[in-house]
Chain A
Amino acid sequence: MLLIDCFRRPSHELQARKKQSSKEVVQMRKLYRDPVKVLLLGAGESGKTTIIKQMRILHIQNSYSFDERLEKLSDIYENIHESIYELVRQVVLLELEFDSIANQRCAEYILRMGPQAPWNLSAEYVRCVRRLWSDAGVKRCYKRSNEFQLIDSAKYFLDRVEKISMPGYIPTNGDILNCRKTTTGIQEVRFNVRMPGSLGGGTQEFRMFDVGGQRHHRSKWMQAFEGVQAVLFLISCGGFDQTLREDPKQNRLAEGFELFRGVWHNRFLAETGVIVFMNKQDVLEQKLLAGQSIRTYFPDYDDYVAFADKDQLYDELTRTRSFIRSKLVDITNEPPRRTSHLVGRKRTCYFHFTIATDTQNVRTVFNDVHNIILTKNLSKMDLL
């Protein structure tokens, strides 16, 4: 992964580049072969870093070396421990009960370890985690995990704890994609994407910027706005029944809507293409299948369903998805807060239903994104 290389570049050179770049941007866009700068935005745990990982898997050869995979093991252990520790803690807090005294002892063993993950997964540890993960009390607790903060990959890793603890285990792409780690600051990843034959083939360089999503990080996002051709905005549809890690009073999906409003109407992004990834469709589906409904958190869902086209929106998942999309579309139709020369110009927002951890899904969606960016750049050439 390439990083923002600011050690080596003297600051006066950076300043000069800044001045130059606004002029350059105009020329650059004419040359659609120049690097495409894409910015990933969205609230915390919406899936931005997972998209970056997919770009590495899809577009960088030998994207994760043997060494890098081994380095991921400690993050995976963290995910396992964070999940089981929080579940056991919540069983106690929610006044649920473990199946047996033996399981109770396992829970005590985990709690005694504290929140810090172990260096390796001992046989005793794995035995305890497996016992607890199949415990009925823990299962009830897991069903109520929207009431506390549990990482979305808890099930993925707890299901696989025995396999992962085997000597010589090498993390798979699936493990890497599911492994949750908070992002801080801004990072850049560069990769080349094959161009469609109709445009002469060859490759085009992409520079994708990943940012921390929690509230306080957002003041920094501006640093990466310059020269951006497209914003990929991620919103976690599966988060409709969860609250924010940084604010337990705020609904995650509602936060996503608020944030989208801020990004869509941001004057520095007024000329930037916006593509929305309505992410975590798998989590959304599981929750609906478990009998939960978005109506509990967004009462206006009932009005939406009442007026919805029954032929097209035949099941709960389709209806819920369309409802979320309609909320986003409404935001794009709101009048801009500030008057600017752009008032009256029609902007298109593109929507995709995504599962960021599914490489096949991201491959398809990214091809569409690439086409949108190419078409947009070509039409801009005509406009300028």
Chain B
Amino acid sequence: MAEKWRQAIGKIRKGLAIKNAEDNGPTKKDQASSDTLFDGEQPTLEEIRSWGKSFDKLMRSPSGRKAFREFLRCEYSEENILFWLACEELKKETNPEAIEEKARFIYEDYISILSPKEVSLDSRVREIVNRNMVEPTPHTFDEAQLQIYTLMHRDSYPRFINSPQFKTLAQIPDGVSASGSTAESPSN
């Protein structure tokens, strides 16, 4: 019985081109049948499931961010993750001229009220950003980035891990909670 189950799981996994942690890297055959969602490095099933347990883990994983971004596009809130990613890029920048330019682009794309991709900031954070823009640094958007991170974490993320899309990826049957909250009931 256990063997049969393992085989069945293996088949499904192949179909999704998700490899086990203990498996070797994806073979050519695997890549040919690869789900279009992930190109390049394939996440392990274990990794995918860890996305359901922690938003930080999801956002730290490139393929996790990709899956989440696809989901946000469906809900018309992709600008949130795009803004977050742009801020991450800015934080890596060391050249002062490039910092200034990147900061302006981020401002025009995601902060300016004229932008169709404007993100949801309260007036307090908006003021901080406006003040910082006088002399942009790699950390000009830190408060705004945190606010958007929290927004995605609290609003979009719970829907993501309960979505059929994520459940398929993580091979969790319908009706079962992806966050595994039963395991940590508050009576413990």
Contacts and interface: CB of A to CB of B under 8 A. Distances in A.
A185 B186 contact: no
Interface string B146-169: 000001101110110011110000
Interface stretch (A68-76, A103-111, A135-143, A363-371): A68-76
Interface in A150-198: 167-169, 181-187
A181 to B, nearest CB: 6
B141 to A, nearest CB: 16
Interface string A205-225: 000000010111101100100
Interface string A74-107: 0100100000000000000000000000000000
The A interface is mostly helix, strand or loop, or mixed, namely loop
Q: Could you say which interface size class chain B belongs to?
A: 35 or more
Nearest to B80: A184
B39 interface: no
Contacts of A247: 123
A71 B177 contact: yes
Interface residues of A, number: 39
B186 to A, nearest CB: 5
B108 to A, nearest CB: 14
A67 B187 contact: no
B162 A1 contact: yes
Which of A5, A184, A212 has the most chain B CB within a 10 Å cutoff? A184
Interface of B: 70-77, 80, 113, 116, 118-123, 126, 151-152, 154-156, 158-159, 162-165, 177, 179, 181-182, 185-187
13 contacts: A3-B164, A4-B74, A6-B73, A7-B70, A70-B185, A149-B122, A168-B185, A181-B154, A184-B75, A185-B72, A216-B120, A220-B76, A248-B123
Given A1-B162, A216-B120, A246-B122, 12 more contacts: A6-B73, A7-B74, A67-B177, A73-B186, A167-B187, A181-B154, A182-B154, A184-B75, A184-B80, A184-B155, A185-B75, A186-B75
